[in-house]
Amino acid sequence: MGTTSRAPAVIDALVALLQAAPGLSGVTVFDGPTVTAASIRDLITVGWDGDDDNDEAVQSDQAWAGLGAKSKDETLLITCAAIAWRGETDVKPVRDRAYALVGEVETALRSDPSLGFPPPTTVAFATGNAYQRQTDGGAEARVVFTVAVQTRI
């Protein structure tokens, strides 16, 4: 039986990579939406953008790799977010921290650009958008980014 998608395994590997990344020591890494993150100052989410109104975790596209229905090329776009909060109203420190977290994610991805999957798998930081807001608990910055994966199944 063939693999329908490598998305679940890639998300698992991405979560494990980020949880073990030295530059993210002390940062909470969540797999998908969180139940609560009220007291967490720095966090990374994999498979969720940190917005309760958006549930999209992964975009996927597949195409036959050749004739004979033996293998397919799969492109995955995994939604992630880096969120920083400090309990103060000054936005600059949380924005800077959110971008620093994204930089650590990119460093971790460069350390293992295949996430341990066989060639021709490549994994890379793809895009990012920043959001800032004032909450009852202070300023929050959230950088929503996409991890792009090219693989063969």
118-150 tens-digit pLDDT: 999 999 999 899 999 998 889 999 999 999 999
Q: Could you tell me the residue range of the domain that residue 130 belongs to? A: 7-152
- Give the pLDDT of residue 38: 61
Do the Cβ atoms of 127 and 105 come closer than 8 Å?
A: no
Whether 98 maps to a domain, the answer reads yes
Tokens (6 digits) for 50: 């940190």
- Give the pLDDT of residue 103: 97
For residue 40, pLDDT over 90 is answered with no
Across all residues in the chain, what is the average pLDDT? 91
For residue 9, pLDDT over 80 is answered with yes
CA torsion angle 14 20 22 24 (round to 10): 60
Whether 138 maps to a domain, the answer reads yes
Whether 38 maps to a domain, the answer reads yes
Distance in angstroms (rounded) separating the CA atoms of residues 92 and 109: 26
- Indicate which CATH number applies to the domain containing 131: 3.30.2000.10
Instruction: Using DSSP, state whether 47 is helix, strand or coil.
Output: coil
Mean pLDDT, residues 90-112 taken together: 96
| pLDDT confidence bin for 34, thresholds 50/70/90 | confident
Whether 131 maps to a domain, the answer reads yes
Whether 1 maps to a domain, the answer reads no
Number of domains in the chain: 1
For residue 2, pLDDT over 60 is answered with no
Please write down the long-range contacts of 72-76, taking CB distance under 8 Å and 24 or more positions apart.
72/152, 72/153, 73/150, 73/151, 73/152, 74/5, 74/6, 74/149, 74/150, 74/151, 74/152, 74/153, 75/148, 75/149, 75/150, 76/5, 76/6, 76/7, 76/10, 76/148, 76/149, 76/151
Instruction: Using DSSP, state whether 3 is helix, strand or coil.
Output: coil
| pLDDT confidence bin for 36, thresholds 50/70/90 | low
Q: pLDDT tens across 52-98, in order?
A: 888 889 999 999 888 776 889 999 999 999 999 988 999 999 999 99
Mean pLDDT, residues 18-23 taken together: 96
Whether 92 maps to a domain, the answer reads yes
- Give the pLDDT of residue 1: 40
Whether 145 maps to a domain, the answer reads yes
Whether 2 maps to a domain, the answer reads no
- Give the pLDDT of residue 66: 81
